[in-house]
Structure 1
Amino acid sequence: MRFTLRQMQVFVEIARSENVSRAAEALALSQSAASAALAELESQFDQQLFDRAGKRLRLNEQGSLLLAHAVELLDRAEEIDALLRGERGLGNLRVGATLTIGNYLLPLIVSNFLQAHPESRVRLQVHNTATIAAMLLRHEIDLGLVEGQVVDAALEVEPWVEDELVVFCAPGHALAKGGQVGLDAIAHQPWILRERGSGTRETFDQALRHWPGGIVPRLELEHTEAVKRAVESGLGLGCLSRLALRDAFRRGSLVPVDTPQLDLRRYFYFVWHRGKYHSRVIRRFLEDCRAFTGGARRSDQIPLPPVP
């Protein structure tokens, strides 16, 4: 072969960062060494892999075709290296999750995983669905667990467990008295919602797509707990996963609002790059996730320790 693993490492890191200096820093190389590795790779095969715009390098069509194969090659090489060193562990994992999953499910799943495999390391990043999808496309994470729809030919999506959003309010709100509530009663209420780009907001907007004029939120927040606190203070109605609200409903600090006209059902999903090699650590982590939610029809039925 006329290429080296070091050249592939440099190529992948530049593709992720779109900058030679940042790639060199990530690989503990000098900038000149990283530049030379890329230049030699392109020269050997007479192929330009990036479009240059000043210091920014963006993958061209040929580079995009190569990237998934290069990442897979490096993943397999890392497993071979571990075996040659006599290591019997699964390896390390980079996971991205959306807020409901990342705050309420993954801490327990990751804790159980690391107790069973203490030699492994898990790097967990929590963002909204749009950000997780973008990170997968750049190969910055190995696996995504998201609440929103992901539609991209480069990404593979697998349903995990059903989830449902619920409209809720403070105990002193006029709609807290119980009984079914129609769209006309809630549409003109002040709303506290998640930001656009989140799976929760996407499901809410989709459920109200036929309502004339839509909903104009009073406040948009990037964190589930912030939405809950704002609604508790009486600022308006909210809409979040039942999983995130289970303990607040149990305590009575928040109250569900019955809205039968709204279809707020959705799924949690596993997402990965279609060209991603499923190493042993990825396969085992997926098995643990499925086992953790096994037997639960919906996310709020998963047995979890209550939060005081």
Structure 2
Amino acid sequence: MRFTLRQLSVFLETARTGKISHAAERLSLSQSAASNALKELERQYGILLFDRVGKRLVLNDLGRAIRPRAEALLDQAEDLEQDLLQQTDLGELKVGATLTIGNYLAVGILTQYRSEHPHARIGLEVANTSQIVDKVANFELDIGMIEGEVNHPDLELIPWQNDELVIICAPDHPWAGRPWLTDEDLVRARWILRESGSGTRQAFDRAMHGLLAQFEPPLELQHTEAIKRAVEAGLGLGCLSRLTLQEAFARGSLVPLPVPQRPMDRQFYLVLHRNKFRSRAIEQWINLC
């Protein structure tokens, strides 16, 4: 075997970041050491793994083909090292969660994980669905927890929890207390919604199929709490996960508006790369979920 784990590490970090300098920084290597490791890997086999596009290194067809196997091999090596060191705690785990899940579900799971493995290294990144999916596909995250559906050939979706979106208004809104809203009401409403690319927006757009072309452009906000405050201030109707609205409903600061003709059930998913080695840390996280 002519390649080394360091060479694979430099190859993979360069694939993630697009720059040798960034790969070197993340691996705590000098830039020359990282550059030499990558050059030696290519020289040993008489291959090129990247195309240079401007100042970036972009994987070519061969690089893309071997990347998943290199990722799995390095993950297994790290898992083996934990066994050889006879550590009872798990290795590093990088988790991504969408905003609703990150703020209302993931922290509880993370707390339980840390209580069972107090010395485990774990990071939680919160972003919208499209961003989490991109990072799982790019091997920057080990596992994602998302609200929206994705169709990506390299990713595996595991159904996790059921959820429901709810249309909301302020308690003094003229429509508060109505038994239901019609499609005509939905078209006339002023909307305050999550941004495109979020799972919540994806589910809303799907529920409003056939009406969206008639909607006025909505006010788009990236955070659930900002949408709740804007709706409470009377700026329009919102649509959020029921999970995020329990306290607001309990204190009466927001009111649900039923739309029985527009089902708003949806599914939360765990998302993993199909070629990602499932370390003990990943399996433990899935079990806790």
1:72 matched to 2:108? The reply is no
Would the aligned equivalents of 1:176 and 1:257 in 2 still touch at CA under 8 Å?
yes
2:99 alignment counterpart? 99
Distance 2:46 2:5 in 1: 18
Distance 1:215 1:74 in 2: 49
Alpha-carbon offset, residue 159 of structure 1: 0.8
1:215 matched to 2:215? The reply is yes
Match of 1:177, SS?
Answer: coil
1:178 matched to 2:178? The reply is yes
1:304 alignment counterpart? none
Match of 1:73, SS?
Answer: helix
Alpha-carbon offset, residue 186 of structure 1: 2.3
2:116 alignment counterpart? 116
2:27 alignment counterpart? 27
Match of 1:160, SS?
Answer: strand
Distance 2:241 2:29 in 1: 45
Q: TM-score, normalised by structure 1?
A: 0.92
Alpha-carbon offset, residue 145 of structure 1: 0.4
Alpha-carbon offset, residue 209 of structure 1: 1.8
1:57 alignment counterpart? 57
1:8 alignment counterpart? 8
Distance 2:220 2:99 in 1: 15
Residue segments in structure 1 that go unaligned for 5+ positions in a row: 290-308
1:241 alignment counterpart? 241
Percent identity (aligned): 51
Alpha-carbon offset, residue 138 of structure 1: 1.1
Would the aligned equivalents of 2:96 and 2:132 in 1 still touch at CA under 8 Å?
yes
Would the aligned equivalents of 2:205 and 2:212 in 1 still touch at CA under 8 Å?
no
1:158 matched to 2:161? The reply is no
Q: Output one character per residue of 1:19-72: Cα deviation in whole Å (capped at 9) or x when no partner.
A: 011111111111111111111111111121111123200111111111111111
Would the aligned equivalents of 2:166 and 2:241 in 1 still touch at CA under 8 Å?
yes
Q: TM-score, normalised by structure 2?
A: 0.97
Would the aligned equivalents of 1:95 and 1:144 in 2 still touch at CA under 8 Å?
yes
1:263 alignment counterpart? 263
Q: What's the C-alpha RMSD, in Å, of the aligned pairs?
A: 1.1
Alpha-carbon offset, residue 82 of structure 1: 1.9
Letter of the 1:136 counterpart: V
Alpha-carbon offset, residue 250 of structure 1: 1.3
User: In 2 relative to 1, CA 240–217 (structure 1 residues): closer, same or farther, beyond 3 Å?
Assistant: farther
Would the aligned equivalents of 1:182 and 1:260 in 2 still touch at CA under 8 Å?
no
Alpha-carbon offset, residue 10 of structure 1: 0.3
Q: Output one character per residue of 1:113-142: Cα deviation in whole Å (capped at 9) or x when no partner.
A: 101110212100000111011101111000
Letter of the 2:203 counterpart: T
- Structure 1 residue ranges (4+ consecutive) displaced by more than 4 angstroms after TM superposition: none
User: In 2 relative to 1, CA 131–214 (structure 1 residues): closer, same or farther, beyond 3 Å?
Assistant: farther
Alpha-carbon offset, residue 197 of structure 1: 0.3
1:87 alignment counterpart? 87
Would the aligned equivalents of 1:192 and 1:217 in 2 still touch at CA under 8 Å?
no
Would the aligned equivalents of 1:42 and 1:48 in 2 still touch at CA under 8 Å?
yes
Would the aligned equivalents of 1:208 and 1:214 in 2 still touch at CA under 8 Å?
no
Alpha-carbon offset, residue 80 of structure 1: 1.6
Distance 2:3 2:174 in 1: 69
User: In 2 relative to 1, CA 165–212 (structure 1 residues): closer, same or farther, beyond 3 Å?
Assistant: closer
Match of 1:163, SS?
Answer: strand
